[in-house]
A = this chain, B = another copy of it.
């Protein structure tokens, strides 16, 4: 069971569009992935779902549970300030430790307005996931200059699409 995480709570994000496109691609390969959209986190998430309140937020608990039940993940990671969005790490900080991710497997794909494609974001996340005991697929596509690669809400750049296609197959077999 694969779950896709749309890694920002920014409204109407390109990240969300890419999550939807990735879901389609995985469906074409016979998977039926759900999407966790960080835009749907409770507004008071940082107050009501962390630390001593972990696991007590009824609005967040179903998402937390879905993360725990999933066996594989695809993280869609926009680059914010040279790394991943803070909200994505905050989300990770609210998960049940250590059972949620330990021994699981994930893929990640980066996107950026600029020239880096989330390369540092994905390096940092790999450190975190390995620390938490989750294996990371080596192939991590970097979608640079993302706005120039999309049309009608979907990535259309051929080279990027090929990387995504290869990665989608790889995470299924990983």
- Which residues 120-150 of A sit at the B interface, judged by CB distance below 8 A? 120, 123-124, 126-140, 142, 144
Within A68-98, the residues touching B (CB, 8 Å) are 80-93, 97
How far apart sit A135 and B139, CA to CA, in the bound complex (Å)?
Answer: 9
Asked if A115 CB lies within 8 Å of chain B CBs, one says yes
Interface residue count for A (Cβ, 8 Å)? Answer: 53
A39 to chain B, nearest CB (A): 10
Residues of B contacting A115 with CB < 8 Å? Answer: 115, 117, 142, 144
Give A residues with C-beta under 8 Å from B: 9-11, 41, 43-48, 50-52, 80-93, 97, 115-117, 119-120, 123-124, 126-140, 142, 144, 174
CB<8 Å pairs between A and B, sample of 5: A81-B92, A86-B87, A86-B89, A126-B127, A135-B137
